[in-house]
């Protein structure tokens, strides 16, 4: 019946007299021309008017809002045509946002919707109609105004506007219909039909909008019918590249929904059918030779997302010479079969390598189609593309497909390896990373390995690392492959000594994966001779260590290898097993089993901690005189520190534990000494004697903050404990200096705020403060509520003294269990130490101009990356802090990060070369501003600035000179 309706509309257009008198159209024309003549001034006017429309963002009363709305409605309606369409359009947009605000009444909304619809129906300016329609769509979509307009009206509005002559109105109408369709009858097929119709609109912007809406529908998980598919496929040939981009996406969307639907190929004798997904895949492949780079990029990206494609088509993407397009699929199979039978896999096309081979041959032209259709060589095109965006997308897609189809992985390996020679670093890196993901599915052949190893000496460390990761995960096929890889790694080690840890790691995985190949190579690697004793290599030579790591890793899987090892190798084993335990596995070598050794040592370590701690606590508890505790603690601290320094690896847990305990004991010792006079009933004068020195205060805070921030694994309770310690020490300081400190002095205020921050912390973490600080917290409460006496200091003194008397070190000793802590630290790899002591040449630069340093460091156990900073200390005591960008810190493993950054320094002139100290630090927020307690900053840590050092410092000698040329 709809057709009849349209027929009628057409009839009317012929039979009716023109409704508008011609004079009127003329008048409109004139009006429209006027602003064009004085376009500049009218533009300015329009801009001014749009500005007036803007609604201040502050809160307004409902009345004011109503006024605003009415004003906007008036502007939108335009009065006697005085306002330009642009102003009215912008008024309608603002109106929509006001209507959607919560403060607008429902009544007002309904009224305004009516006005909007009225304007839409009465006006014929495209720009205005389009934005009014957009405004209505927004209001309806939000759901607040949906009662104002009936479903039927919505439908007719959409249908009306979609036939409009202006593209903008059609675009908005398409959006309007899609966004408001949910409310209407659940019949989505009509909507889809309408959208599909507009994919063929004469205006490319409308086509684009229609496709966009279809994609949007698909993203809302509306299934798209097959009926749309031919229309969309047609849009692939569109003149507008944006339309093509969307069409490619949509083809994929439709095909993924119903992959197995049979499709008939449009041309071709005899008719062949393929699955829909295969057809879509072929079409997407065809778009890889599109003339617009963004279409190619999109197509390349989408190729990777296809699943369930028949392998035949996948295979074709890698073969450019496969000419037969799907039209003659049967003959393609035949040809292949014939080719194999004849032992000739070469196609009729010459590869261009042999001259003369491309002379015209008799080719059955029915079988050959050079056209760029089908999946033929799509990836080859993509990988050869001019634009790196396309190449990157193609590489990624290839990787995605490889993970889905292991057979494809083997086929595509050659091409992926070829990409390692790309001229652009980022593409190379992507290719390597991608291959890393699929390398476990394939085996590297000798020639492929050669290409891989060819890139190993690359000057970019990222690429070197990626290649080594690739090597570490790869399966090598032959003995010579492994040998080649090892030799290349050793050369690499020679030219890039800073890569040593990574090369060793790579050696280890190579050994792990290729124990049998390594077995065959062991004689060559260790340079042994059947009856001559060879020279013993230097056990500290990195290359030799690398080889040993590989040999021992392989030995783990084939213990027989031990027989081939010379004596010194076995000796070196125990040395390496101790020095780099994470790279050298447990292997049964010789009589002594190192396995037992290390286990025992581990056991003894933890047992030792327990034993010592137990004894310390025991002694402290048993001591009658509290003063006698001090030497006990001091001895314990000394012991712990000693043990910490001798523990093999500074990163191992035990070392951290030792350090941690000793630091904690030190803190307690300070506290103990501070409170000691009050605990023994000694005289006032005695108390005055033991005043806390600023240095010890400083030390205490440094230990306390280091404990809190340089170790990870602290529980909330332990953090609270450390905070309490600081409160107590501050209290002790005030107590001791109570006669000197003025009432309401900064110290007192500082203590109060410290207490407050403690309380806040307790609230945040749901911990209860220990009884020691309870008096203080109470006193603080009283002061704030005004319950205490007028004098601040006096009202504090009582609780302070009480706290001091109550203080019990034993409880504090027990409340800290550092066995699970790990130390946060940093190792600076670059710059190397080149201070004056090392005899290096100072770096010279013109004073007041900049000099840059590359910084490279490995961060261990850093949980909070943002807090890491680079600290530079100048000889004149000034310090500069650089916060590296997030991109400059790369995660290596769960616990380690690598920082690679550049700092740019400058300084005024010096007379001679001086050292600057570069270190990696971590910033933290102190409880309160600590500048009262800490006067002088220590060398590298700077408590008052919230800095703790993670690494040792590297000194670099620099010399700013005064002139550019001497």
User: Which of 923, 955, 959 is closest to 847 using CA atoms?
Assistant: 959
Q: How near is the Cβ of 482 to another protein at its closest, in Å?
A: 21
| Nearest residue (CB) to another protein, 361 versus 763 | 361
Cα separation, 384 vs 387, in Å, equals 9
Work out how close the CB of 450 gets to another protein at its nearest, in angstroms, rounded to a whole number: 9
What are 701's two structure tokens? 């805070």
Rounded to a whole number of angstroms, the minimum distance from the CB of residue 413 to another protein is 13
Single out the residue of 266, 250, 517, 288 nearest to residue 389, CA to CA: 288
Between strands 879-882 and 889-891, the pairing is unpaired
Nearest approach, Cβ of residue 320 and another protein (Å): 6
Residue 902 CB contacts under 8 Å (≥ 6 apart), including other chains: 852, 853, 854, 855
Encoded tokens for 43: 């533009």
387 vs 883, beta carbon nearer another protein: 387
Q: Which residues contact 674 (CB under 8 A, 6 or more apart)?
A: 690, 692, 729, 732, 733, 736
Which residue do the tokens 């009432």 mark?
A: 743
Residue 453 CB, nearest approach to another protein (Å): 11
d(CA 25, CA 27) in angstroms, rounded, equals 5
Shortest CB 302 distance to another protein, Å: 20
Nearer to another protein, 42 or 461 (CB): 461
Given the rule CB under 8 A, which residues bind another protein? 1-8, 10-11, 13-15, 18, 163-165, 197, 201-202, 239, 289, 291, 320-321, 323, 349-356, 358-361, 363, 365, 368-372, 377, 380, 383-388, 415, 418-419, 421, 423-424, 451, 454-455, 457-458
Contact 161, 132 (CB under 8 A): no
Return the number of the residue (146 or 315) whose C-beta is nearest another protein.
Answer: 315
Return the number of the residue (233 or 551) whose C-beta is nearest another protein. Answer: 233
CA angle centred on 387, ends 386 and 391, rounded to 5° = 95
Do β-strands 443-444 and 475-476 pair in parallel, antiparallel, or remain unpaired? Answer: parallel
User: Nearest distance from residue 261's CB to another protein, in Å?
Assistant: 24
Query: Minimum CB separation from another protein for residue 599, in Å?
Result: 47
Instruction: Return the SS3 of 272.
Output: coil
> DSSP letters of 392-415?
HHHHHHHHHHHHH-HHHHHHHHHH
Which of residues 96 and 378 has its CB atom nearest to another protein in the complex? Answer: 378
Residue 602 φ/ψ, nearest 5 degrees: -65, -45
Cβ distance to another protein smaller for residue 456 or 656: 456
Based on CB atoms, which residue is closest to another protein, 230 or 694?
A: 230
Least distance in angstroms from the C-beta of 357 to another protein: 9
Nearer to another protein (CB atom), residue 168 or residue 804: 168
Q: How far is the CB of 122 from another protein (least distance, A)?
A: 19
CA distances from 938 to 694, 698, 702, 828, 879 (A): 12, 8, 9, 21, 12
Which pair of structure tokens corresponds to residue 216?
């949007």
CB of 396 or CB of 577, closer to another protein: 396
Per the document, the length of the chain is 966
Shortest Å, Cβ 882 to another protein: 24
Residue number, 323 or 859, with CB nearest to another protein: 323
CB of 163 to another protein, least distance (A): 4
* 846 touches 815 (CB < 8 A): no
d(CA 178, CA 862): 50
Q: How far is the CB of 242 from another protein (least distance, A)?
A: 14
Q: Identify which of residues 60 and 369 has a Cβ nearer to another protein in the complex.
A: 369
Strand order in the sheet with 851-860: 825-830, 851-860, 896-905, 889-891
Q: Pick between residue 37 and residue 291 the one whose CB is nearest to another protein.
A: 291
Helix (H) or strand (E) holding 63: helix 62-77
Least CB distance to another protein at residue 336 (A): 17
Token digits of residue 635? 């001895």
Pairing of the two strands 889-891 and 896-905: antiparallel
Indicate the burial class of 433 (C-beta count within 10 angstroms; 0-12, 13-18, 19 or more). Answer: middle
Going 901 to 906 to 907 to 911, the CA torsion angle's sign is positive
Structure tokens at 731: 């209290």
Q: Which is nearer to another protein, 37 or 360 (CB)?
A: 360
879-882 vs 851-860, strand pairing mode: unpaired
User: Phi and psi (nearest 5°) for 518?
Assistant: -65, -35
* 303 vs 616, beta carbon nearer another protein: 303
Q: Which of 516, 475, 510, 473 is nearest to 490 (CA)?
A: 510
Least separation in angstroms between residue 321's CB and another protein is: 6
> Measured between alpha carbons, how far is residue 593 from residues 530, 566, 568, 570, 584 in Å?
27, 18, 16, 12, 14
Give the helix/strand (H/E) hosting 344. none
Contact 247, 277 (CB under 8 A): no
> Is the torsion defined by CA of 745, 747, 750, 755 positive or negative?
negative
Identify which of residues 262 and 270 has a Cβ nearer to another protein in the complex.
Answer: 270
- Nearer Cβ to another protein (378/472): 378
Q: Can you name the residues that pair with 870 across neighbouring β-strands?
A: 882, 920
Tell me, rounded to whole angstroms, the distance of Cα 525 from its chain centroid: 41
């Amino acid at each position: 019946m709809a057709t009849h309706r349209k027929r009628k509309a057409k009839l009317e257009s012929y039979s009716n007299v023109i409704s508008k008198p011609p004079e009127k159209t003329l008048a409109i024309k004139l009006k429209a021309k006027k602003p064009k003549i004085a376009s500049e001034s009218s533009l300015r006017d329009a801009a001014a008017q749009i500005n007036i429309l803007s609604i201040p963002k502050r809160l307004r009363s409902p009345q004011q809002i109503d006024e605003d709305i009415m004003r906007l409605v008036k502007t939108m309606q335009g009065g006697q045509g005085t306002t330009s369409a642009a102003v009215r359009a912008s008024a309608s947009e603002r109106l929509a946002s006001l209507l959607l605000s919560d403060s607008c009444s429902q009544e007002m909304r309904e009224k305004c919707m009516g006005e909007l619809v009225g304007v839409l129906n009465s006006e014929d300016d495209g720009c205005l109609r389009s934005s009014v329609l957009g405004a209505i769509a927004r209001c309806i979509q939000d759901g607040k105004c949906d009662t104002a307009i009936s479903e039927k009206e919505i439908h007719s509005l959409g249908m009306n506007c979609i036939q409009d002559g202006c593209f903008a109105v059609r675009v908005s109408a398409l959006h309007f219909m899609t966004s408001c369709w949910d409310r209407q009858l659940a019949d989505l097929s009509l909507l889809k039909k309408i959208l599909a119709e507009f994919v063929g609109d004469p205006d490319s912007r409308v086509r684009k909008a229609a496709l966009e809406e279809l994609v949007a529908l698909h993203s809302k998980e509306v299934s798209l019918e097959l009926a749309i598919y031919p229309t969309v496929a047609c849009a692939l040939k569109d003149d507008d590249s944006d339309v093509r981009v969307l069409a490619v996406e949509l083809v994929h969307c439709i095909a993924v929904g119903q992959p197995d639907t049979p499709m008939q190929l449009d041309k071709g004798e005899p008719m062949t059918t393929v699955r829909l997904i295969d057809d879509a895949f072929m079409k997407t492949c065809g778009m890889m030779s599109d003339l617009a780079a963004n279409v190619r990029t999109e197509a390349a990206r989408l190729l990777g997302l296809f699943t369930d494609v028949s392998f035949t088509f996948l295979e074709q993407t890698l073969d450019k010479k496969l000419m037969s397009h799907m039209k003659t699929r049967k003959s393609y199979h035949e040809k292949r079969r014939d080719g194999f039978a004849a032992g000739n896999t070469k196609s009729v096309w010459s590869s261009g390598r042999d001259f003369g081979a491309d002379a015209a041959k008799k080719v059955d032209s029915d079988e050959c189609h050079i056209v760029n259709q089908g999946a033929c060589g799509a990836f080859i095109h993509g990988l050869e593309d001019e634009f790196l965006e396309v190449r990157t997308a193609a590489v990624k897609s290839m990787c995605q497909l490889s993970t889905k189809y292991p057979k494809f992985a083997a086929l595509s390996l050659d091409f992926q390896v070829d990409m390692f020679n790309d001229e652009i670093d980022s593409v190379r890196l992507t290719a390597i990373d991608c291959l890393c993901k699929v390398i476990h599915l394939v085996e590297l052949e000798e020639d492929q390995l050669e290409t891989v190893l060819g890139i190993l000496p690359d000057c970019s460390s990222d690429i070197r690392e990626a290649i080594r990761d690739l090597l570490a995960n790869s399966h090598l096929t032959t003995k010579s492959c492994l040998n080649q890889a090892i030799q290349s790694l050793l050369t690499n080690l020679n030219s890039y000594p800073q890569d040593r840890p990574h090369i060793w790691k790579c050696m280890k995985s190579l050994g792990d994966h290729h124990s049998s190949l390594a077995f065959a190579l062991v004689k060559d690697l260790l340079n042994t001779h059947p009856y001559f004793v060879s020279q013993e290599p230097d056990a500290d030579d990195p290359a030799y260590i690398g080889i040993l790591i590989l040999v021992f890793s392989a030995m783990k899987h084939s213990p027989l290898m031990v027989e081939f090892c010379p004596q010194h190798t076995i000796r070196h084993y125990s040395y390496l097993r101790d020095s780099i335990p994470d790279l050298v596995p447990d292997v049964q070598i010789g009589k002594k089993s190192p396995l037992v050794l290390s286990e025992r040592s581990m056991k003894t370590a933890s047992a030792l901690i327990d034993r010592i701690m137990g004894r310390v606590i025991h002694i402290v508890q048993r001591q009658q005189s509290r003063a006698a505790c001090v030497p006990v603690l001091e001895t314990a601290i000394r012991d712990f520190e000693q043990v910490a320094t001798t523990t093999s690896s500074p990163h191992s847990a035990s070392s951290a534990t030792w350090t941690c305990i000793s630091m904690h004991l030190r803190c307690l010792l300070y506290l103990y000494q501070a409170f000691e006079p009050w605990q023994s009933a000694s005289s006032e004068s005695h108390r005055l004697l033991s005043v806390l020195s600023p240095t010890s205060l400083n030390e205490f805070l440094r230990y306390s903050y280091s404990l809190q921030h340089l170790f990870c694994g602290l529980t909330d309770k332990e953090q609270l404990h450390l905070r309490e310690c600081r409160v107590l020490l501050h209290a002790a300081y005030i107590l001791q200096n109570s006669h000197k400190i003025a009432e309401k002095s900064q110290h007192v205020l500082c203590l109060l705020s410290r207490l407050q921050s403690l309380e806040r912390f307790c609230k945040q973490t749901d911990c209860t403060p220990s009884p020691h600080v309870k008096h203080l917290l109470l006193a603080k409460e009283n002061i704030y509520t005004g319950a205490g006496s007028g004098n601040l200091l006096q009202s504090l003194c009582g609780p302070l003294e009480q706290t001091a008397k109550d203080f019990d070190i034993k409880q504090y000793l027990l409340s800290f269990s550092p066995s699970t802590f790990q130390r946060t630290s940093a190792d600076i790899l670059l710059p190397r130490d080149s201070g004056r002591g090392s005899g290096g040449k100072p770096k010279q630069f013109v004073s007041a101009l900049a000099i840059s340093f590359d910084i490279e460091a490995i961060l261990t156990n850093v949980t909070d990356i943002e807090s890491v900073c680079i600290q530079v200390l100048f000889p004149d005591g000034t310090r500069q802090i650089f916060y590296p960008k997030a991109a400059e810190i790369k995660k290596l493993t769960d616990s380690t990060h690598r920082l690679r950054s550049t700092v740019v320094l400058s300084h005024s002139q010096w007379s001679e070369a001086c050292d600057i100290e570069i270190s990696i630090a971590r910033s933290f927020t102190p409880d309160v501003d600590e500048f009262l307690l800490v006067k002088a900053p220590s060398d590298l840590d700077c408590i008052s600035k919230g800095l703790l050092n993670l690494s040792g410092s590297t000194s670099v000698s620099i010399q700013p000179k005064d002139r550019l040329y001497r």
